[in-house]
């Protein structure tokens, strides 16, 4: 029997799936081309191998409560009803004694799954008046930095890639960590775009690039400054656009000024 489903993992692509079930067990997971025009049935190895995790011998199938000291690794099993009752009791006790803000929910996409996070769990903690958490260090920091640097920018739509004349892959490896970006990049190349990859490693996409810049780790900032300087000195920077939509572009130009291409090449 084949059952339509969706990927439960922490990934914004939310792939449509076709799950094969035999005798009550999942035996195979495939992508579905017709139900997701973006992912086109191409799924990652992580969800394709999900049955191995589902039926893994080391998977914990019941709640466990620590009975020894922290670090001893001594636990005893509880029934689901016991575990839920214990958690509810302690949540209510904490709220009644210290207020709802004394409860700090630490859960995120990695534990919830992209499609299920911030649903019933959010409702529960909102009702309790719990504190809100900026979640993981990486998400909060990078999200704030991106918003401060670029404003609200959702990224380039996949169907815009064929119109590109130059695609720059800077320090990422889409063949491994962003597989659904690979077909749009290839579509751009098929339409005549050049591909430049900046990465210390010879990744799969770097091997396909028209130009691979294997910079030393940690020196890509120098490359960025040299490119910025070149844009300003050659007159190719759109100053009218910067005046309308950017702040302190003149300061950026001054900071980049010392970084000639020759100097950057020595780093």
Residue 25 belongs to domain with CATH number: 2.20.25.90
**pLDDT value of residue 136:** 67
Residue 127's pLDDT band (cuts 50, 70, 90): very high
Q: What gap in Å lies between CA 202 and CA 119, rounded to an integer?
A: 41
Res 242: pLDDT: 94
Range of the domain at 205: 158-265
Show the tokens assigned to 240. Answer: 């009218």
37 backbone dihedrals φ, ψ, rounded to 5°? -70, -15
- Domain contains 78: no
pLDDT of residue 17: 94
Predicted confidence at residue 106, as pLDDT, reads 79
Mean pLDDT of 103-126: 77
Of the candidates 174, 261, 179, which has an alpha carbon nearest to the alpha carbon of residue 224? 261
**Cα 70 from Cα 89, distance rounded (Å):** 21
- pLDDT of amino acid 23: 94
Q: How far apart are CA 227 and CA 249, in angstroms?
A: 14
Query: Hey, which of 116-120, 121-125, 183-187 has the most confident mean pLDDT?
Result: 183-187
CA-closest candidate to residue 14, choices 48, 38, 49: 38
Residue 60 lies in a domain: no
Mean pLDDT across 55-74:
92
**Under 8 Å between Cβ of 189 and 164:** no
Question: Above 90 in pLDDT, residue 38?
Answer: no
Q: What is the pLDDT of residue 122?
A: 84
110 pLDDT more than 70: no
Domain final position from 14, 39, 54: 54
Q: Give the model's pLDDT for residue 103.
A: 95
pLDDT of residue 112: 66
The more confident residue out of 241 and 158 is 241
**In the predicted structure, residue 62 carries a pLDDT above the cut 80:** yes
User: Considering the domain boundaries, does residue 130 fall inside one?
Assistant: no
Give the CATH number of the domain where residue 195 resides: 3.40.228.10
Q: What average pLDDT does range 143-168 have in this prediction? A: 85
Per the domain annotation, does 131 fall within a domain? no
pLDDT of residue 109: 62
Average pLDDT, the chain: 90
Exposed e or buried b per residue across 234-249, where buried means at least 16 C-beta atoms within 10 angstroms of its C-beta = eeebeeeebeeeeeeb
Residue ending a domain, among 20, 36, 54, is 54
> What is the C-alpha to C-alpha distance for residues 145 and 122, in angstroms, rounded to an integer?
25
Residue 211 neighbours by CB under 8 Å, 6+ apart: 194, 195, 196, 197
The pLDDT confidence band at residue 137, using thresholds 50, 70 and 90, is low
Q: Is residue 32 part of a domain?
A: yes
Q: Quick check: is 62 in a domain?
A: no
- From 41-45, 116-120, 142-146, 175-179, the region with the lowest mean pLDDT: 116-120
User: Tens digits of per-residue pLDDT, 202-254?
Assistant: 999 999 999 999 999 999 999 999 999 999 999 999 999 999 988 899 999 99
Q: Specify if 246 maps to a domain.
A: yes
Last residue in a domain, options 22, 37, 54: 54
Count of the separate structural domains present in the chain: 2
Please check whether residue 167 lies inside any domain of the structure: yes
């Amino acid at each position: 029997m084949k059952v339509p489903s969706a990927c439960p993992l922490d990934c914004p692509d939310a792939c449509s799936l076709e799950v094969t079930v035999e005798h009550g067990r999942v035996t195979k997971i495939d992508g579905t081309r017709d139900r997701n025009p973006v992912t086109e049935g191409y799924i990652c190895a992580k969800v394709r191998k999900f049955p191995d995790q589902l039926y893994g011998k080391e998977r914990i199938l019941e709640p466990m409560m620590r009975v020894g000291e922290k670090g001893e690794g001594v636990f005893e099993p509880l029934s689901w009803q016991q575990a839920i009752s214990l958690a509810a009791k302690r949540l209510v006790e904490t709220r009644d004694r210290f207020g709802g803000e004394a409860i700090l929910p630490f859960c995120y996409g990695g534990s919830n799954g992209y499609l299920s996070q911030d649903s019933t769990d959010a409702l529960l903690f909102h009702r309790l008046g719990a504190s809100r958490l900026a979640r993981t260090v990486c998400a909060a920091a990078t999200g704030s930095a991106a918003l401060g640097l670029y404003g609200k920018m959702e990224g380039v739509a996949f169907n815009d890639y064929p119109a590109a004349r130059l695609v720059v892959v800077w320090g990422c490896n889409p063949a491994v960590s962003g597989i659904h970006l690979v077909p749009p990049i290839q579509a751009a190349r098929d339409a005549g775009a050049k591909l430049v990859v900046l990465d210390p490693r010879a990744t799969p996409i770097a091997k396909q690039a028209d130009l691979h810049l294997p910079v030393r780790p940690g020196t890509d900032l120098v490359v960025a400054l040299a490119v910025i300087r070149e844009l300003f000195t050659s007159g190719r920077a759109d100053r009218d656009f910067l005046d309308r939509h950017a702040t302190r572009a003149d300061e950026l130009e001054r900071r980049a000024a010392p970084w000639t291409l020759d100097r950057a090449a020595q780093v």
